[in-house]
Structure 1
Amino acid sequence: MAHSAFRDYARYWRSPLLPGAELLTAEYHDHAFTPHWHDAYTVPVIEEGAECYRYSGAHHVAQAGSVPVINPGELHTGARAVDEGWRYRVMYVPVDYLHALANEIAGSAQPLPWFDAEVIRDRDLARRVSRAHLLMETHAASGATPDSSARTDSPDLLAAEAALIDALSTLLVRYGRTRATPLLASSHEPRVDVMKALLAADLTTPLRVADLAQAIGLSPFHASRLFTQATGLPPHAWRTQLRLQRALAPLRAGVAVADVAAAHGFTDQSHFTRHFRRMFGVPPGRWQTA
């Protein structure tokens, strides 16, 4: 029996139970995410349909009941894997929060948690992540706050927080790893770091590949190829992703979208909106009002 197609719909929201995090409830059919990264741990649960994506040099398919975790700073894409598309819930968990939870579980200081690139196919974990996300969303929609207990019809704050801790601690205990360190660091890493520093220093300053090449003593062709091999993106695309990441804080603070666009090197608001939508699935104004 054929399933009806999902629509392109996304709602970002926030919860006081997970400070500094964005949470997403969405379904997609036509939308496809261009290569991008997040500064947080991306913890999705696929509820219906299936998503395909490129991550860590491979093609992956995440079906309903799976939890395709993406590590912070890691490049990935996203698109439908089946005709109807996919519906999912996502927590963008701040690095400090998950690291602190890992320390609490172990009872001592731990390295940053890291997760293998393979899709986590664990229906019990998926149920826990979905339940925590739903309880937090219901609590947020009720208008209740951590300091208010007057509303008798609001979802139980303790239940929502307990579900969140249960879901993320289960993820850590079952699948948390330590990031593997290459035995030998690439001799090109310092050159790539120099180019990244130049690209990140002032996002409003125009740069050419020739400027990067001159800084590391290579030809423009070799500098661009080295950077793309190391990061997965050419210099201009990598800089656009960095601009988008740095734009999030002022957007959260309520700065006007046009001002954020200008301050982060975008040509104009429409240029900013076009790139923002490709990465987040919604325009920056709607993201800002989450």
Structure 2
Amino acid sequence: MSDSNPDWIDLRRDAPRGIEAIRAHFTGHAYDPHWHDSYLIGVTEQGVQQFHSRRKQHHSRPGTVFMLEPEELHDGDAIDAQGFTYRMLYLSPQQVIQQLTPLTAGSGSELHFAATLRDDKQLASAVWHCFDALWHNHPELIKEAMLDRLFLQLSQHPLWRSETPSAQRDRRLAQQARDWLIAHHALNPGLQAMADALNVDRFRLSRLFQAQWGLPPHAWLVQWRLAQARRQLAAGSAAADVAASLGFADQSHLGRWFKRACHLTPARYQQACTNLPDAN
């Protein structure tokens, strides 16, 4: 919400679908490198949004659609004092795969965006109207129609990135390492323990992991914990219980990391997910 700080962020959540709609404005540094467990599809409204992903720097201008995959590392900055404003939808992988099944049928691959930015007026319009329908909690028929329109526009674009056999093997090992970290997250595991469990050299595993996920294992685990915290908080879990279940030292530790990543405290995020006005 707007306050004396020129930067602001507002969020609403469509509970039946679990879709989050975020609208925000930043005049300086917006986000440190981080990732989400959702597909992010948004439109820049005003100003120039500068960010890094896929080892490239991108500039999203008014009307540009930007698209990020789950676990795709990115940051965010304004390029001048004018800042930038954007609106964005968080869509679960299950929703995207279900809606775009005809595109993925028989490929045996995961769904990947071929490009991060698209200057496409029809796609931008679909994102914009879908956002409005969810943001203003329009009747179900309208929300469903706008979501169908969005996925129809997405289906018009090539969404695949192919991988070589060797890259697929490295990806599988990186995925095994990721899964091992998740299974042992409460124990604050070490890299050597993970390498021993996977029967691979620790230094090779570390290189493969960072090449695949963009972060070293310890930093990736923090991002995973934050993604899980969002889910648990949105479901109504108490912040103290969330911190304890995910391996944060305490509630304050969770709060510091959450505010740094989301620009909202856990309490403010949880309140926003209810779509209720501020209590104070």
TM-score between both structures, scaled by the size of structure 1: 0.80
Residue 157 to residue 190, structure 1, CA distance change in 2 (3 Å) = closer
Mapped to 2, the partners of 1:119 and 1:208 lie a distance apart of: 37
Moved more, 178-187 or 280-289: 178-187
User: Deviation of residue 57 (structure 1)?
Assistant: 1.8
Could you say which residue in structure 2 is the equivalent of 1:218? 201
Mapped to 2, the partners of 1:195 and 1:100 lie a distance apart of: 27
Whether the 8 Å contact between 2:65 and 2:124 is mirrored in structure 1 is yes
Which secondary structure does the structure 2 equivalent of 1:13 belong to? strand
Could you say which residue in structure 1 is the equivalent of 2:62? 64
Which secondary structure does the structure 1 equivalent of 2:66 belong to? coil
Q: Which amino acid aligns with 1:163?
A: M
% identical aligned pairs: 31
Mapped to 1, the partners of 2:139 and 2:221 lie a distance apart of: 43
1:161 aligns with 2:159: no
Whether the 8 Å contact between 1:43 and 1:69 is mirrored in structure 2 is yes
Q: Which amino acid aligns with 2:146?
A: A
Residue 109 to residue 54, structure 1, CA distance change in 2 (3 Å) = same
1:280 aligns with 2:262: yes
Mapped to 1, the partners of 2:196 and 2:122 lie a distance apart of: 53
1:120 aligns with 2:118: yes
Moved more, 46-55 or 160-169: 160-169
Could you say which residue in structure 2 is the equivalent of 1:27? 25
Which secondary structure does the structure 2 equivalent of 1:254 belong to? coil
Moved more, 57-66 or 210-219: 210-219
**How do 1:103-182 residues align onto structure 2 when only pairs under 5 Å count?**
103=101, 106=102, 109=105, 113-139=111-137, 155-173=138-156, 175-182=157-164
Could you say which residue in structure 2 is the equivalent of 1:201? 183
1:11 aligns with 2:10: yes
Superposed CA deviations along residues 144-196 of structure 1, whole A, max 9, x for unmatched, are xxxxxxxxxxx5543343223212311222x2423313243366556534533
Q: Which amino acid aligns with 1:259?
A: D
Q: Which amino acid aligns with 1:12?
A: L
Mapped to 2, the partners of 1:231 and 1:244 lie a distance apart of: 16
Superposed CA deviations along residues 89-113 of structure 1, whole A, max 9, x for unmatched, are 111112222222223xx49946554
Mapped to 2, the partners of 1:130 and 1:37 lie a distance apart of: 23
Mapped to 2, the partners of 1:162 and 1:226 lie a distance apart of: 42
Whether the 8 Å contact between 2:31 and 2:75 is mirrored in structure 1 is yes
Mapped to 2, the partners of 1:60 and 1:69 lie a distance apart of: 11
Q: Which amino acid aligns with 1:161?
A: E
Moved more, 197-206 or 36-45: 197-206
User: Deviation of residue 253 (structure 1)?
Assistant: 2.0
Which secondary structure does the structure 2 equivalent of 1:83 belong to? coil
Mapped to 2, the partners of 1:211 and 1:113 lie a distance apart of: 31
User: Deviation of residue 61 (structure 1)?
Assistant: 0.8
User: Deviation of residue 231 (structure 1)?
Assistant: 2.2
User: Deviation of residue 86 (structure 1)?
Assistant: 1.2
Could you say which residue in structure 1 is the equivalent of 2:166? 184
Mapped to 2, the partners of 1:156 and 1:190 lie a distance apart of: 43
Could you say which residue in structure 1 is the equivalent of 2:41? 43
Which secondary structure does the structure 2 equivalent of 1:114 belong to? coil
Mapped to 2, the partners of 1:250 and 1:278 lie a distance apart of: 18
Whether the 8 Å contact between 2:47 and 2:62 is mirrored in structure 1 is yes
User: Deviation of residue 19 (structure 1)?
Assistant: 0.4
